[in-house]
Structure 1
Amino acid sequence: MKLLGVIGGMGWSATAEYYRLLNDGVESRLGGLHSARVLLHSVDFEPVTAAENAGDWASMAEQLTAAARSLEAGGADCFIIAANTMHAVADEVAASVDIPFLHIAKVAAEHVEQARQRTVGLLATATTMNADFYTGPLRERGLEVILPTEEERPEIDAMIYDELVHGVINDASRKRFRQVMQGLVDRGAEGVVLAGTELGLLLEADDCPVPMHDTTVLHVEGCLDWMLSD
């Protein structure tokens, strides 16, 4: 089994879910007392998100590059960023080390393509929804991406950062997400991509009238394939 390096802490609730899913997956695939070989570098989220809010991508890249290099030095065979939004600087971070990197949006795009859906809605932080580092890999595969309305995006961002990042599960927020997803479906979405690593903590399959693609789950499955490959 390869040693997976994980840049986590953005936020900690999503990182905890990654760790749980990785170990569940290894146990399911290998049985017995097998567990995931994981090397975690959990960053302090405050300066990372401060850089995001300031649009200081160089600072964000510098912080995550330091984490990636520490994972490489610690013996990781490959690494991931356990957060969707911080993939805004993924190319720079991946280029800073010599070990392979598994990009969450590329994993999600491949899965949606295999599901034979051509039009999908996207739920994520404002940064992720307003940039092309996430929608780009989807559109490169010929997929149409529908975003929430301009008015809905700040509300979604707030529910992620003010609640889910802190592990807070709010029924009122679940109801609001249901409304937003119904709006995406009404505009033609055949599926909805949960491009926030914490969204799967709140939303379940019956919250949406079309299939949801939880990028945390998909990312973990891609990691397991990679870790357990020859």
Structure 2
Amino acid sequence: MREKGQKVLGVMGGMGPLATQHFYKKIIEKTAASQDQDHLNMIVLNHVSMPDRTAAIKSGDLEDLYHKLLHDAKFLEVGGADYIAIPSNSCHLLVDRLQKHLKIPIIHMIKEAALSVYCRHGSNFKMGILAADGTLATKLYQEECKALDIKVLEPSAENQERIMNIIYKGIKGGAPINKKEFEKVEREMKEEGCKCVLLASAELSCFKEMYGLSDFYIDAMDVLADRAIVLCEKTLKE
């Protein structure tokens, strides 16, 4: 797929499939293009049989997940990708380990999202984070934000259960979503003094678009899409 003067983005997708479709759509919509040829060349893997990330993290057994991710990353590398994007937050627990075995860079969504928050709001403030249990358990976002002097607030146990229901039953499972349940989470974040909330779940990125959430929410997948477009030498829409 390599062509002179054209970068190729490899996407490790399927985690979940709707989130992968959503990321691909973001890349298209965010690229300044007047014809097909202005868009970004991509190789998109929709590996839906990948082990559940939250379950793997909670069990402490990451080896099967790691080896499948490495296989996919190598596939994209051999296929001609110049960069790899993984629109799955929890998988980034293994990115540093994966990177050691690759010749092409993985765009680190966690670091890029934390830096984006810092560029928008500076430091010394409180930010809420909404994510799956597995992502919260990795502490990746918490550590990146701490280094930038940003305090991270996680939801209460009751509200975290609401978020997990939205992610797993609502977006992944296709069950009806009661937006009032999300509003209870939002109320907690605002009452606790959060200046903004980071959506650190691909499914919550889908939710943001479905329900038109405000700029109070910063979407990690948005940040990943922007960075991928720039690195692959295409132009972002203004």
State TM-score, norm by structure 2. Answer: 0.86
The CA distance in 1 between the partners of 2:161 and 2:94, in whole Å, is 22
- Please tell me whether residue 142 in structure 1 is matched to residue 149 in structure 2: yes
Q: 1:124 aligns with which of 121, 131, 136?
A: 131
Q: 1:25 aligns with which of 21, 30, 35?
A: 30
The CA distance in 2 between the partners of 1:150 and 1:114, in whole Å, is 30
Checking the alignment, whether the CA contact within 8 Å between 1:119 and 1:190 is kept in structure 2 is yes
Q: Secondary structure at the match of 1:178?
A: helix
1:171 Cα shift? 4.0
Q: Secondary structure at the match of 1:154?
A: helix
Instruction: Specify the alignment match of 1:72 in structure 2.
Output: 77
Aligned Cα root-mean-square deviation (Å) = 2.2
- Please tell me whether residue 151 in structure 1 is matched to residue 158 in structure 2: yes
Q: How many residues matched?
A: 225
The CA distance in 2 between the partners of 1:108 and 1:169, in whole Å, is 29
- Please tell me whether residue 111 in structure 1 is matched to residue 91 in structure 2: no
Alignment of 1:79-90 (within 5 A): 79-90=84-95
Match for 1:32: what amino acid? Q
The CA distance in 2 between the partners of 1:180 and 1:188, in whole Å, is 13
State TM-score, norm by structure 1. Answer: 0.89
Instruction: Specify the alignment match of 1:164 in structure 2.
Output: 171
The CA distance in 2 between the partners of 1:156 and 1:186, in whole Å, is 18
Q: Secondary structure at the match of 2:143?
A: helix
- Please tell me whether residue 213 in structure 1 is matched to residue 215 in structure 2: no
Checking the alignment, whether the CA contact within 8 Å between 1:178 and 1:207 is kept in structure 2 is no
Match for 1:31: what amino acid? S
Checking the alignment, whether the CA contact within 8 Å between 1:105 and 1:138 is kept in structure 2 is no
Q: 1:121 to 1:194 in 2, by over 3 A?
A: same
Q: 1:93 to 1:165 in 2, by over 3 A?
A: farther
% of aligned pairs identical?
Answer: 25
Checking the alignment, whether the CA contact within 8 Å between 1:194 and 1:200 is kept in structure 2 is yes
The CA distance in 2 between the partners of 1:190 and 1:159, in whole Å, is 23
Q: Secondary structure at the match of 2:134?
A: helix
1:116 Cα shift? 1.6
Q: Secondary structure at the match of 1:151?
A: helix
Q: 1:43 aligns with which of 34, 42, 47?
A: 47
Match for 1:106: what amino acid? K
1:169 Cα shift? 6.8
Q: Secondary structure at the match of 1:137?
A: helix
Q: Which has the higher contact order (CA 8 A, sep 6+)?
A: 2
Q: 2:20 aligns with which of 15, 19, 23?
A: 15
Match for 1:170: what amino acid? P
Q: 1:40 to 1:203 in 2, by over 3 A?
A: closer
Instruction: Specify the alignment match of 1:91 in structure 2.
Output: 96
Q: 1:191 aligns with which of 196, 213, 217?
A: 196
The CA distance in 2 between the partners of 1:162 and 1:98, in whole Å, is 38
Q: 1:86 to 1:127 in 2, by over 3 A?
A: same
The CA distance in 2 between the partners of 1:16 and 1:61, in whole Å, is 23
Q: 1:162 to 1:171 in 2, by over 3 A?
A: closer
Long gaps (5+) in structure 1: none
Checking the alignment, whether the CA contact within 8 Å between 1:11 and 1:45 is kept in structure 2 is no
1:140 Cα shift? 1.4
